[in-house]
Structure 1
Amino acid sequence: MFTPSQQDVRRFFCDSFKKSHAREILTPLEAIAADWIHQHPEYDQILSNLEAALEADYSVDQGKGNPFLHLSMHLSISEQISVDQPRGVKHAFQILAKKLNSEHEAHHQMMECLGEMMWNSQRTSLPPDGEAYIEALRKRAS
């Protein structure tokens, strides 16, 4: 299993930003990342400076949102939807997107559920509970 470091993730998004703006050829994963980057122009300044991005502190006590975590969650959710894993996530996304009239806002709602599932997994030292995640998505969609 591939487990990138914090620095790897930051480099990936900064490189995707740079390549996209230079109109260079992107890998399929970079293209998906670039789509989400374009939907978050508030991150342009951060992504345009790799050295500063590598040094930035986004710890909770700093009180700033972490753009790399946010973009990573968009990427994870996009992948979940594309392969419908956990089973039912694609349908829940479709319902949420229709209800909210926005795929982007549906992603943000899904992030809340994904974050809660991951927090519970870390807190209990158990594997992530995909069923609980889908149930949380269903509740938001209804």
Structure 2
Amino acid sequence: MTLHFAYGSNMSRALMGARCRGAEAAGIAVLSGWRFVINPEGFGSIAPRPGGRVHGVLWRLSARDLAAINAYESVDSGLYLRRRLPVRCGDVQAMALVYIARRQGEGTPRPGYISLVVEAAREWQLPEIYIRSLARWAPSRWRGVRAKDTGEVG
């Protein structure tokens, strides 16, 4: 079994179930020292940030599910890189596989993407302040200030 920390659309039970049929949720988890961003391609990624926290879901994946999620995240074509990073799930710290966009920088989310991420965050009852920071990435909510500009550490 491989532990996978999901922070974007892979937090969704329905979407993860369709992508990785054998995936089992281990619970909600936190990745410290990072922040959520939208990559130049319009999807979720993370970037280092001292004091930052990314909330998400820890999944247990079989070898078959791992191959499926690697394909979905376009690892072979280089869209995302895989890294093992320490996450905290309750009182337990574990090393988990995390996908990070190869191209760094920030972009505009693809239509509907942030809605999926926010819905999944609500499904898992992540902290409301964190959910609001995710929702700020929606272009319709930009009022001259984007989530990255707020300095908020969810």
Quick check: which one's helix share is greater?
1
- TM-score band by shorter chain is under 0.3
Which of the pair has more CA radius of gyration?
Answer: 1
Which of 1 and 2 has higher RCO (CA within 8 Å, sep 6+)? 2
Question: Structure 2 length normalisation: TM-score?
Answer: 0.22
Quick check: which one's strand share is greater?
2
